[in-house]
Chain A
Amino acid sequence: MPIQVLMPALSPTMEKGNLSKWLKKEGETIKSGDVIAEIETDKATMEVEATDEGTLGKILIPEGTADVAVNTPIATILADGESAADLAKAPAPQQKAAESAAPAAAKAEAPAPKAAPAPQAVAEPDPEVPAGTEMVTQTIREALRDAMAEEMRRDADVFVMGEEVAEYQGAYKVTQGLLQEFGAKRVIDTPITEHGFAGIGVGAAMTGLKPIVEFMTFNFAMQAIDQIINSAAKTLYMSGGQMGCSIVFRGPNGAAARVAAQHSQDYSSWYSNVPGLKVVAPFSAADYKGLLKAAIRDPNPVIFLENEMLYGHTGEVPKLDDFVIPIGKARIVRSGSHVTIISWSNGMSYALKAADELAKDGIEAEVIDLRTLRPMDTETIVNSVKKTGRAVTVEEGWAQSGVGAEIAARIMEHAFDYLDAPVARVSGKDVPMPYAANLEKLALPSAAEVVEAAKAVCYR
Chain B
Amino acid sequence: MAAPKKAAASTAQDKTDGGSPPEFTREQELKALRDMLLIRRFEEKAGQLYGMGAIGGFCHLYIGQEAVVVGMQMALKPGDQVITGYRDHGHMLATGMEANGVMAELTGRRGGYSKGKGGSMHMFSKEKHFYGGHGIVGAQVSLGTGLAFANHYRDNDNVSVTYFGDGAANQGQVYESFNMAELWKLPVIYVIENNRYAMGTSVSRASAQQDFSKRGASFNIPGQQVDGMDVRAVKAAGDEAAAWCRAGKGPFILEMQTYRYRGHSMSDPAKYRTREEVEKVRHDQDPIEQVRNRLLAAKVSEQDLKAIDAEVREIVNASADFAQHDPEPDAAELWTDIYR
Which of A's residues lie within 8 Å of B, judged by CB?
A: 159, 185, 190-191, 193, 195-209, 226-227, 230-231, 235-244, 275-276, 278, 299-300
Task: List residues of B (124-171) whose CB comes within 8 Å of A's CBs.
Answer: 124-126, 131-136, 139, 141-150, 153-154, 160
Question: Quick one: which of B115, B173, B337 contacts A199, CB cutoff 8 A?
Answer: B173
How far, in Å, is B93 (CB) from chain A's closest CB? 17
Q: Could you say which interface size class chain B belongs to?
A: 35 or more
B contact residues around A204 at 8 Å (CB): 146-147, 149-150, 153
Bound Cα distance A125, B172 (Å): 50
Bound Cα distance A200, B149 (Å): 7
Bound Cα distance A87, B188 (Å): 68
B contact residues around A198 at 8 Å (CB): 142
Once the chains bind, are A200 and B145 in contact (CB under 8 Å)?
Answer: yes
Query: Which of A200, A209, A241, A278 has its CB near the most chain B CB atoms (within 10 A)?
Result: A200
How far, in Å, is B45 (CB) from chain A's closest CB? 22
CB contacts between A and B, total, < 8 Å: 142
- Contacts A190-B180, A240-B113 given: A276-B142 contact, CB under 8 Å? no
A contact residues around B172 at 8 Å (CB): 195
Query: Can you name the residue of chain B whose Cβ is closest to the Cβ of A209?
Result: B150
Bound Cα distance A202, B82 (Å): 15
Once the chains bind, are A195 and B146 in contact (CB under 8 Å)?
Answer: no
- Contacts A190-B180, A204-B149, A205-B146 given: A239-B114 contact, CB under 8 Å? yes
Once the chains bind, are A231 and B134 in contact (CB under 8 Å)?
Answer: yes
A contact residues around B247 at 8 Å (CB): none
New A-B pairs, 13, CB < 8 Å, besides A196-B180, A200-B143, A239-B122: A196-B176, A197-B176, A197-B180, A199-B145, A200-B146, A203-B147, A230-B139, A231-B134, A235-B122, A240-B114, A240-B337, A242-B114, A243-B124
Q: Does B118 contact A (CB under 8 A)?
A: yes
Bound Cα distance A208, B150 (Å): 9
Once the chains bind, are A201 and B183 in contact (CB under 8 Å)?
Answer: no
Bound Cα distance A244, B176 (Å): 24
Once the chains bind, are B142 and A195 in contact (CB under 8 Å)?
Answer: yes
Task: List 28 A-B residue pairs with CB atoms under 8 Å apart, sorted by A's residue number.
Answer: A191-B176, A193-B180, A195-B142, A195-B176, A196-B145, A196-B173, A196-B179, A197-B176, A200-B180, A202-B146, A203-B142, A203-B148, A206-B131, A226-B136, A226-B139, A227-B143, A230-B139, A231-B143, A236-B338, A236-B339, A237-B337, A238-B124, A238-B132, A239-B113, A240-B115, A240-B116, A242-B125, A276-B339
Q: Does B64 contact A (CB under 8 A)?
A: no
Bound Cα distance A275, B135 (Å): 18
Query: Can you name the residue of chain B whose Cβ is closest to the Cβ of A207?
Result: B150
Once the chains bind, are B338 and A227 in contact (CB under 8 Å)?
Answer: no
Q: Does B245 contact A (CB under 8 A)?
A: no
B contact residues around A197 at 8 Å (CB): 142, 176, 180
Q: Does B185 contact A (CB under 8 A)?
A: no
Query: Which of A185, A193, A207, A244 has its CB near the most chain B CB atoms (within 10 A)?
Result: A207
A contact residues around B115 at 8 Å (CB): 240-241
How far, in Å, is A342 (CB) from chain B's closest CB? 23
Once the chains bind, are B146 and A241 in contact (CB under 8 Å)?
Answer: no
Bound Cα distance A205, B142 (Å): 12
How far, in Å, is B130 (CB) from chain A's closest CB? 10
Question: Quick one: which of B123, B143, B176 contacts A203, CB cutoff 8 A?
Answer: B143
Bound Cα distance A408, B183 (Å): 49
Q: Does B177 contact A (CB under 8 A)?
A: yes
Once the chains bind, are B146 and A240 in contact (CB under 8 Å)?
Answer: no
B contact residues around A236 at 8 Å (CB): 337-340
Instruction: Please give me the 10 A-B residue pairs with the lowest Cβ-Cβ distance, nearest first.
Output: A203-B146, A199-B142, A196-B176, A240-B115, A203-B143, A238-B122, A240-B114, A241-B337, A200-B146, A239-B124
Q: Does B112 contact A (CB under 8 A)?
A: yes
Q: Does B5 contact A (CB under 8 A)?
A: no
Q: Does B336 contact A (CB under 8 A)?
A: yes
Query: Can you name the residue of chain B whose Cβ is closest to the Cβ of A247?
Result: B146
Fill in one digit per residue for B324-340: 1 if any A CB lies within 8 Å of its CB, else 0.
00000000000011111
Query: Can you name the residue of chain B whose Cβ is closest to the Cβ of A203?
Result: B146
Q: Does B196 contact A (CB under 8 A)?
A: no
Bound Cα distance A197, B148 (Å): 13
How far, in Å, is A379 (CB) from chain B's closest CB? 18
A contact residues around B173 at 8 Å (CB): 195-196, 199
Once the chains bind, are A227 and B113 in contact (CB under 8 Å)?
Answer: no
Bound Cα distance A275, B112 (Å): 22
Once the chains bind, are A239 and B146 in contact (CB under 8 Å)?
Answer: no
- Contacts A195-B142, A204-B147, A231-B139 given: A243-B126 contact, CB under 8 Å? yes
B contact residues around A243 at 8 Å (CB): 124, 126, 131-132
Once the chains bind, are A199 and B339 in contact (CB under 8 Å)?
Answer: no
How far, in Å, is B149 (CB) from chain A's closest CB? 5
Question: Quick one: which of A206, A230, A244, A299 contacts B147, CB cutoff 8 A?
Answer: A206
Bound Cα distance A203, B158 (Å): 14
How far, in Å, is B248 (CB) from chain A's closest CB? 14
Bound Cα distance A191, B144 (Å): 18
Q: Does B292 contact A (CB under 8 A)?
A: no
A contact residues around B338 at 8 Å (CB): 236-237, 275-276
A contact residues around B340 at 8 Å (CB): 236, 241, 244, 299-300
A contact residues around B41 at 8 Å (CB): none
A contact residues around B282 at 8 Å (CB): none
Once the chains bind, are A239 and B118 in contact (CB under 8 Å)?
Answer: yes
Once the chains bind, are A207 and B147 in contact (CB under 8 Å)?
Answer: yes
Bound Cα distance A299, B176 (Å): 27
A contact residues around B153 at 8 Å (CB): 159, 185, 204, 209
How far, in Å, is A337 (CB) from chain B's closest CB? 35
A contact residues around B133 at 8 Å (CB): 238
How far, in Å, is B127 (CB) from chain A's closest CB? 9
Once the chains bind, are B139 and A191 in contact (CB under 8 Å)?
Answer: no
B contact residues around A206 at 8 Å (CB): 131, 143, 146-147
How far, in Å, is A370 (CB) from chain B's closest CB? 18
How far, in Å, is B114 (CB) from chain A's closest CB? 4
B contact residues around A278 at 8 Å (CB): 339
A contact residues around B125 at 8 Å (CB): 242
Query: Which of B83, B148, B172, B340 has its CB near the most chain A CB atoms (within 10 A)?
Result: B340
B contact residues around A195 at 8 Å (CB): 142, 172-173, 176
How far, in Å, is B142 (CB) from chain A's closest CB? 2
How far, in Å, is B85 (CB) from chain A's closest CB? 12
Bound Cα distance A197, B147 (Å): 12
A contact residues around B15 at 8 Å (CB): none
Bound Cα distance A275, B336 (Å): 11
Query: Can you name the residue of chain A whose Cβ is closest to the Cβ of B142?
Result: A199
Query: Can you name the residue of chain A whose Cβ is closest to the Cβ of B337?
Result: A241
Bound Cα distance A239, B101 (Å): 12
Once the chains bind, are B117 and A203 in contact (CB under 8 Å)?
Answer: no
Once the chains bind, are B117 and A196 in contact (CB under 8 Å)?
Answer: no
Question: Quick one: which of B132, B141, B339 contacts A235, CB cutoff 8 A?
Answer: B132
How far, in Å, is A443 (CB) from chain B's closest CB? 32
Query: Can you name the residue of chain A whose Cβ is closest to the Cβ of B186?
Result: A200
Once the chains bind, are A199 and B114 in contact (CB under 8 Å)?
Answer: no
How far, in Å, is A18 (CB) from chain B's closest CB? 37
How far, in Å, is B86 (CB) from chain A's closest CB? 12
